[in-house]
Structure 1
């Protein structure tokens, strides 16, 4: 039995995992480009499907033995696939206005990882009653498009006229619009997608389309068969199963994803057999919060984007520890 995209079997509580484990087969192959997604238990779940005893795979000293006897890892280069390299650009975006920065810092001040403290004159109680998941969502949105957060408030504390990251993404794409490279933009929210489409068209890019949960299956197929200057995808619906190497060779991540493997899968939509151009990947990350003047005292702190990038690096280190030979 061959299980393709085997990382989808990493949750041992799902019917998918339980069904796979019940299949009777003398030989099992688990195929995945991203077998470890978030934690060691992802790897342990796959070991369980290979009928390796838990008493063995859970011992750290046995990991090298498992790698030697059960893991066959091959890169594109190792199997002779000739594809131009990937070039990565990490874009750290400064806050365009103090008002936008303070508004986002207000949200972040309620999240322990940020280390951001508000001055006495700031309305820090604005988000006091939010749960952690709500705060994480609002912190993320405030780094992308502050208006998404303001619409959720009963009263707008301030008028924010800047959207630093959105400006940077749009400007980067428009600056590169005539280089002949189709562009994939991976986003998270519908309002974010709609804003990108509107602003890119205002910037002279007419052939723009999007794929998200609002598309029917018929329209989705039509869009994928067309060639656009820019195709915007909701990352959870467009990071796997698509072959887009013929039309696109630039990738933009508006916001870092908690799971770096999701980004790796998204890059794989372009960087695969058949790609003839060098693939460029742009990752956008809002800068942290800087101290303000005496009237708006703000302790230095890290943004949601900074923290997610830190988490990504930790997860990539885990993948190296377990998988790389």
Structure 2
């Protein structure tokens, strides 16, 4: 992640075009010479402009409302770039992307297709092309099945059929057959070109990454709130377990329900009562656990059917709406917006830094007089931001560093300012953090699932180029991949994620190729809570990933690369 996958692919495309020029072949009017790139909302256009001579690559962005008008022009371009959601909806409608045979199809952040029952996976395997590539820094997220999905897309026989992968790999590991783990490692070695920061750090001159964990103890009243619902959650979970033993509830439903209960407690860890539904608050205020029913608990958190991330439901318990007003059942806010490509809503704010240009108004535009007490996490976050950015702000009279209440000083900004990125899974939590940033005078930008491609670019330019903009608020679902935050050198992860690779992806937005400073990553954890359990789950998943991939690092990579490059046509 952040080690040059995009640049390598552009070099491959340029190589193809150079061959055509060398052999004096005319570029045809069909898709046979066009590369389709499917990616999250990302910076492919920026990378092309940065690394390729002007006019040497013709590219088209197939995204947004009215994109169907561009379908007849695909053959006129060397590269067509689209998003996963546009790709999925085009497949569902029998659109132009599946109407011909491409030279190559490239899945950027290819783990998006890991769920083989999803529409995105089905759309990917059905597209026609001569060559197929998967780009991802995290080929395995939750299980070995994730890697099987990538092999199925690429068409590696016999693993293009899920049943074959299940028999030879998954079942073999589960049954602990002799040599099963080595078989998996050999398969990964034969099908994967892998770079790691450890192997590339010297040639990339990559600075070190320091990681630390901040243990945050809840405010006393929030701890009482947590204990109240922890007991009720345990009671409900025990009841679900009894129903499961009596076979009156399906196991899959039980697992989904337990996850929802855990997300309820995660919301309390983040910001006490402020992320809970009104029915939960009523039960708490009356100290009446009998009012805490299953439906109310379930409303506090669920899993998005589109992206697989957990999300917090609206306090009213309503489903997310897309900007056109349509309901989106069982999807998070980010994916609800992605399903409506006409969205023009943008997210940014700069109160307290008059020189900072903004791309729009903040969603959390409630009156500043409506005070919300910062949670223990937000308070600790603000303290850390003030501490790490002390060097950015100077007292104009005494030339001393400013002390924490920075907005009371005349501000002068250093040329090499410290900048920070704050990741959270919850847009509501980002709203609450915004208030603290505004109060303390931080200039900031914000990107989440409601930010259009155009405004996303504007926010990035502000963050990269404007000295007064020192903080980026980012939803981990929409900014955990396909974006470059190397202007920052501090990362704050507000809560742990069930999937450790989601956190790794987020960190690598900052600690990546092009970073020239030491990066500090701060994780915020409430001790002896659901968050410490999530950390334990992360370690178990990382063991699985490391068992599958670590042997790759033990082989002689130089010899392996030499063998690969003996093949004249690498894509044949």
How far did 1:134 drift? Answer: 4.3
Unaligned residue ranges in structure 1 (runs of 5+):
116-130, 289-302
**Which of residues 218, 230, 252 is equivalent to 1:108?**
230
**CA 112–72 in structure 1, closer or farther in 2 if over 3 Å, else same:** farther
Distance 2:390 2:209 in 1: 20
Instruction: For 1:37-52, list aligned pairs within 5 A.
Output: 37-49=141-153, 50-51=156-157, 52=159
SS in 2 for 1:11: coil
**Which of residues 261, 269, 276 is equivalent to 2:516?**
276
CA contact (8 A) 2:185 2:549 kept: no
How far did 1:276 drift? Answer: 0.5
Q: Is the aligned partner of 1:311 residue 2:547? A: no
**CA 19–90 in structure 1, closer or farther in 2 if over 3 Å, else same:** same
**Which of residues 269, 272, 285 is equivalent to 1:157?**
285
Cα-to-partner distance string for 1:77-121 (whole Å, 9 max, x where unaligned) = 424221101110111112332x321211222224459x9xxxxxx
Residue aligning to 1:64: 185
SS in 2 for 1:137: helix
Residue aligning to 2:55: none
Unaligned residue ranges in structure 2 (runs of 5+):
1-103, 174-179, 238-256, 288-371, 392-416, 464-468, 552-572
Q: Which runs of 4+ in 1 moved over 4 A?
A: 23-28, 158-162
Cα-to-partner distance string for 1:238-293 (whole Å, 9 max, x where unaligned) = 11111121x211110000111111111111111111110111111100011xxxxx
**CA 223–184 in structure 1, closer or farther in 2 if over 3 Å, else same:** same
Q: How many residues align?
A: 292
Instruction: For 1:1-20, list aligned pairs within 5 A.
Output: 1=104, 2-20=106-124
Which has the higher mean CA deviation after the structures are superposed, 56-65 or 228-237? 56-65
Residue aligning to 2:481: 240
Distance 2:193 2:457 in 1: 35
TM-score (norm 2): 0.47
Task: Answer with 1 or 2: which has the greater Rg.
Answer: 2
**CA 220–24 in structure 1, closer or farther in 2 if over 3 Å, else same:** closer
**Which of residues 518, 539, 547 is equivalent to 1:321?**
547
TM-score (norm 1): 0.81
**CA 145–14 in structure 1, closer or farther in 2 if over 3 Å, else same:** same
Q: Is the aligned partner of 1:231 residue 2:457? A: no
How far did 1:25 drift? Answer: 5.9
CA contact (8 A) 2:272 2:375 kept: yes
Instruction: For 1:198-209, list aligned pairs within 5 A.
Output: 198-205=435-442, 207-209=443-445
Q: Is the aligned partner of 1:94 residue 2:320? A: no
Query: CA-atom RMSD, angstroms?
Result: 2.7
CA contact (8 A) 1:47 1:57 kept: no
CA contact (8 A) 1:148 1:191 kept: no
How far did 1:317 drift? Answer: 0.8
Distance 1:194 1:19 in 2: 35
CA contact (8 A) 1:240 1:269 kept: yes
Distance 1:243 1:64 in 2: 31
Which has the higher mean CA deviation after the structures are superposed, 233-242 or 185-194? 185-194
SS in 1 for 2:204: coil
